[in-house]
Amino acid sequence: MPVLILASSSVYRQQLLHKLGLDFTCMSPNIDETAHPLETAAELVQRLAEQKAYAVAQHEPKALIIGSDQVCVNQGQILGKPGILANAKAQLLAASGQTLTFYTGLAVYDAAQQKMHSVVEPFSVTFRDLSEAQIARYLALEPALDCAGAFKCEGLGISLFKRMDGRDPNSLVGLPLIALVELLDQCGIAVP
């Protein structure tokens, strides 16, 4: 089996990949993640996932490299990571009663064969109607400042939802494992 590299510094993606029981290392791809003009959310995450894998391949030309990227879309607007508490509060207020779609781009690049396999996984979350007090209590307990959408579905963030729709809830955390197993299989890596 070739060396497997996760092109990410995200601890969340690392934790998810550990679920598959594969040996892997991590390398931060350090790419420009700016959206191109008129680029859709799905196009953006697919391009960035692939670019992350290509960037790591420059240093590891024989590896199998996993790249992933995610954005959240609320009413046509792409949301990033809030970064600060005021932005997190604003994102959650805007999400109240709304259905948000998360797009996760996933790429597996076989650098030795120069073959790219990629997919975009959508996952939708419908939020409950949230009061400012509920949002403040949530952020006091779990300030998800480094998560698109300002919540952690694997934690208390689940209490903010009315409904979840999609093939793989791991997509919300940033690494769709069902799709990853399929892409690894295309590269000759069987899981389990």
Backbone dihedral angles phi then psi of residue 169, each to the nearest 5 degrees: -65, -15
**166 is a domain residue:** yes
Q: What is the pLDDT of residue 2?
A: 85
Q: pLDDT band for position 1 (50/70/90)?
A: confident
Structure tokens at 160: 């903010």
The residue whose two tokens read 């781009």 is: 105
Tally of domains in the chain: 1
- pLDDT, mean of residues 145-156: 90
Clarify whether 129 is annotated catalytic: no
pLDDT digits (tens, 9 = 90+) for 37-59: 999 999 999 999 999 999 999 99
Instruction: Give the tokens for residue 81.
Output: 């990571």
Span 6-47, pLDDT tens digits:
999 889 899 999 999 999 999 999 999 999 999 999 999 999
In a domain? residue 191:
no
**Within-domain flag for 139:** yes
**Out of 69, 129, 146, 168, which one is annotated catalytic?**
69
Number of Cβ within a 10 Å radius of residue 128 = 14
The answer to whether residue 177 is domain-embedded is yes
Lookup: tokens for 62: 């024989």
Range of the domain at 52: 4-186
- On average, the pLDDT of the chain sits at 95
CATH of the domain at 147: 3.90.950.10
Residue 43 inside a domain? The answer is yes
Residue 192 maps to a domain: no
Q: Is residue 79 part of a domain?
A: yes
